[in-house]
Structure 1
Amino acid sequence: MAASKKLNGRAVAVLATDGFEYSELTEPKRLLEEAGAEVTVIAPGDVKEIKGWKGGDWAGSVPVDVRLSEADVSDYDALVLPGGVINPDKLRTQPAAVELVQAFAEAGKTVAAICHGPWTLINAGQVQGRKVTSWPSLRQDLENAGARWEDREVVRDGNLITSRKPDDIPAFAQAVIEALAA
C-alpha cells in the first residue's frame, strides 16, 4: 500500500546506548522503516552493537550504524530517544549526546523521546516551557526543569514529541510518522 511508504526519502536517527528499553528502540524503528524511513542507530564509543533491557534483565542487542562522534545532524530529519533507566541516564552525562540533541532541536527537526528518554532532553535544555509526558517517575524532574507535564500517551509541542511507556509505542511512532510526513 502506497500510504505505508509515506516516509520514503526520510532519515531518522535513534540515539541510544547499553540499557535502552528493548521495545522502545526496536518497535519504533520497525514502524518507521515500514513507513519508508531509513533508520540509523547512533551510539557513543566504538561499539558494533548495544544491549537492550527488558523486564528487569538484559535483552537482545541492536547493531550500531554510526558512532556518536561521527553523527551529523544534517543527515537526518528526526531524532528518537528510547527510554530504559540505564540508557538515558548514561546519555545525559555525555556532552556529545547532549550536544546532538541540542543540534536537532536548534535545527527545528523533530525530537521524539519515550519513557525515561526525556531525561536527556532536560540536560539538553529542551523542556523549559514545553508540554511533555514521560514515565511517571520523571514528572518532578521535568517540572523542576520548567516543563508542563501531562499524563497522555503522546504529547506534541512543536517539534518535540514525548510518550510515556512501551504500551504507548504505536501512538508514539504514529506521531513521529505524522510529523515527518507533514
Structure 2
Amino acid sequence: MTEELRGHRIAILATDGVERIELEQPRGALHGVGAQTELLSPHDGQINARQMDIDPAGSFPVDKKVRDASVDDYDALLLPGGTMNPDQLRTDPDAVAFVRDFMASGKPVATICHGPWTLAEADVLRGRRLTSWPSVRTDLRNAGAEVVDEEVVIDGSLISSRGPQDLPAFCAAVVDEFTRALEPA
C-alpha cells in the first residue's frame, strides 16, 4: 500500500439506491493510498445499495448525517451514482448546500454516472466541462455545463466519469487528482 493520501479525509455523500460498485471501488482505491473516508447521508443508520439500479446489493453504515458535516473537515468529496441515490440527494437541502459549499471551497470533487445531478441542483456547473451517464446529460447542459462523452473528464478540481464501465480509469484519476490537489505547496 502506498501512502499518498495518508492523513487526508474524504467525504463520500450518498443515500439509499447508491450503485454499490460506484461507492465501493473508488473508496477502496482511496483507502489503498492511505485516505480516510467518511460516508455522509441525509439519514443515519445505513444506506441500501443497488446493483444496476435494480437488484439489492447490501448496505453501508453511515458515519455522519450530512447536516452535521462541515466542508472544513474534509479534503475532497466523492459523489457516486446510481439513479435513486442522486435523485434523492438533489431534493435534500442539506446535501445540496454541502455540495454547493464544497464546490465553492475549490477542493477536489469526483463524481460518476448519475452523481452530477446533485451538482446540477446545487447550481455549480455553469461553464464547467464534465461527463456523466447519458440520460443525465441534458440536465447538465441545462445547468450550463459543457457535456462530453469521455471516459474521464478533469476540469480543474472536478473529476467526472460516465459509469461503471469507466471505474478503472475513474479510480486512477481520483487518486491522481486528489493526490495532486492535496500535496503540500
Please report the TM-score for the alignment, with normalisation by the length of structure 1.
0.95
| Contact residue 130 and residue 147 of structure 1 kept, 8 A | yes
> What is the deviation of 1:33?
0.4
2:110 aligns with one of 86, 104, 112: 112
Q: Please give the alpha-carbon distance, in whole angstroms, between the structure 2 residues aligned to 1:9 and 1:153.
A: 29
2:86 aligns with one of 88, 107, 110: 88
Q: Please give the alpha-carbon distance, in whole angstroms, between the structure 2 residues aligned to 1:11 and 1:48.
A: 20
Counterpart in 2 of 1:49? 46
Counterpart in 2 of 1:58? 56
> What is the deviation of 1:140?
1.0
Counterpart in 2 of 1:5? 3
Counterpart in 1 of 2:177? 179
Q: AA paired with 2:47?
A: I
| Contact residue 14 and residue 39 of structure 1 kept, 8 A | yes
% identical aligned pairs: 51
Q: Please give the alpha-carbon distance, in whole angstroms, between the structure 1 residues aligned to 2:129 and 2:104.
A: 17
Q: What's the secondary structure of 1:113's corresponding residue?
A: strand
> What is the deviation of 1:146?
1.1
Counterpart in 2 of 1:39? 37
Q: Please give the alpha-carbon distance, in whole angstroms, between the structure 1 residues aligned to 2:33 and 2:166.
A: 18
Q: Please give the alpha-carbon distance, in whole angstroms, between the structure 2 residues aligned to 1:41 and 1:29.
A: 10
Structure 2 alignment gaps of length 5 or more? 181-185
Q: AA paired with 1:97?
A: A
Q: Please give the alpha-carbon distance, in whole angstroms, between the structure 2 residues aligned to 1:147 and 1:13.
A: 24
Q: Please give the alpha-carbon distance, in whole angstroms, between the structure 1 residues aligned to 2:109 and 2:73.
A: 14
Q: What's the secondary structure of 1:51's corresponding residue?
A: strand
Q: What per-residue deviation string (whole Å, max 9, x for no partner) do you get for residues 3-44 of structure 1? A: x22111111000000000010001111110011100110011
> What is the deviation of 1:144?
1.4
| Contact residue 82 and residue 114 of structure 1 kept, 8 A | yes
Q: What per-residue deviation string (whole Å, max 9, x for no partner) do you get for residues 130-176 of structure 1? A: 10100011111111111111111110111111110012112112222
Q: Please give the alpha-carbon distance, in whole angstroms, between the structure 2 residues aligned to 1:171 and 1:96.
A: 30
Q: Please give the alpha-carbon distance, in whole angstroms, between the structure 2 residues aligned to 1:171 and 1:11.
A: 22
Q: Please give the alpha-carbon distance, in whole angstroms, between the structure 2 residues aligned to 1:32 and 1:20.
A: 18
Q: AA paired with 1:49?
A: Q
Q: Please give the alpha-carbon distance, in whole angstroms, between the structure 1 residues aligned to 2:156 and 2:174.
A: 12
| Residue pairs, 1:16-35, within 5 angstroms | 16-35=14-33
| Contact residue 118 and residue 134 of structure 1 kept, 8 A | yes
Q: Please give the alpha-carbon distance, in whole angstroms, between the structure 2 residues aligned to 1:39 and 1:171.
A: 20
Q: Please give the alpha-carbon distance, in whole angstroms, between the structure 2 residues aligned to 1:107 and 1:146.
A: 20
